[in-house]
Amino acid sequence: MDETVKKYTTRKEFFKQYKKKSRLQETWNRFLRNKLAVIGLFIFIFIMLAAVAAPLIANYDTDAITINVPNRLQSPSAGHIFGTDELGRDIMARIVHGARISLVVGFAAVALALFIGGALGAIAGYFGGKIDEVIMRCMDVFLCLPDVLLALAIVAAFGTNLVNMTIAIGLSFTPKFSRVVRSAVMTVRGIEYVEAARAIGANNTQIITNHVLINCFGPIVVQVTLYVASAILTISALSFIGLGIQAPIPEWGNMLASGRVYMRDHAYIVMAPGLAIFVTILSLNLLGDGLRDALDPRLK
């Protein structure tokens, strides 16, 4: 023991000698073994890249917005990979720009829901008792309303712009997140190492941050991916019925709505946005499932 003390005088040196086995690495390896999940990941990364690179792929103004009637309803060709819509706009351009909107609103809404719902759920789950009752009954009120309806109400009252949509969808998901976080926290709260933390003198804040929350990540991360999918679907649904993103801003849902009339003879006009929605949701679900399996504490 004394020899050791002489060899490594600082903990840094000692840690360099004996490295931590990265749990992240192990989880990542497990994830990689699930082929479907990896496919989902790739597809999703592809969609993200397309969204990020949208301005490089197609100019927003000239291709996606500017009406070009002579060019209307062209079938897919070399110039227009997905064809043109009823107003002559390049569908592919509209798809990739639409992707931006879907993804940004989707993630932002879920982030909002996670922040508010997560905090409420964690407090309810950790403290229990009356605090739990009060918070959960409030959440129940919101849970009674279907997501779309709640988002609809907010949007109808405050107007249909991107920020409102984000807030609307975010608020409608808040109660769901609160439940997920609450149950994760309640599970962890009952495990002995939390009691052990109290025994060594940690206070509630320290326990929640050091012990409870970091052990809740698994189920929360999985829910995030699945709810992002749900949020994107909700945005599209709202836009489809005209209460979401308004024309001429490209959004998959409103593209479906305006293209519906031409479906019979020009199927491509709805297929592109329809497929975009489908593929995005699918990839997120595969990703979410894969994450759930990879994060599964099969460890002893």
Partner 1 sequence: MSDVLLEVKDLKKYYKVPKGMLHAVDGVSFDLEKGKTLGIVGESGCGKTTIGRAILRLVEPTSGSVIFDGVDIPKLNKQEMRHMRRNMQLIFQDPFSSLNPRKTITQTIEEPIILANMIPDPDKRFMRVMELMDTVGLAERLVNTYPHELDGGRRQRIGIARALAMSPKFIICDEPVSALDVSIQAQILNLMKKIQREMGLTYIFITHNLAVVNHFSDDIAVMYLGRLIEKAPSEALFANPLHPYTQALLSAIPVPRIHNRPERLLLRGEITSPINPEPICRFANRCNYAKPVCSQEEPSLIEIEPNHFVACHLTGRG
| HSE-CB of 177 using CA atoms within 13 angstroms | 29
- Residue among 145 and 202 whose Cβ is closer to partner 1: 202
Phi, then psi, of 90 in degrees rounded to 5:
-70, 120
- Residue among 23 and 260 whose Cβ is closer to partner 1: 23
CB of 27 to partner 1, least distance (A): 12
Separation of alpha carbons 68 and 143, rounded Å: 45
CB of 46 to partner 1, least distance (A): 32
Which residues contribute to the site for partner 1 (CB under 8 A)?
1, 4-5, 9-11, 14-15, 18-21, 23, 191-193, 195-203, 206, 210-211, 214-215, 297, 299-300
CB of 21 to partner 1, least distance (A): 7
Separation of alpha carbons 158 and 165, rounded Å: 10
- Residue among 187 and 285 whose Cβ is closer to partner 1: 187
Nearest to 277 by CA among 299, 292, 289, 259: 259
- Residue among 95 and 222 whose Cβ is closer to partner 1: 222
- Residue among 99 and 194 whose Cβ is closer to partner 1: 194
DSSP 3-state helix, strand, coil percentages of the chain (rounded to 5)?
75, 0, 25
CB of 131 to partner 1, least distance (A): 18
Separation of alpha carbons 125 and 138, rounded Å: 14
Q: Is the alpha carbon torsion for 172, 177, 178, 183 positive or negative?
A: positive
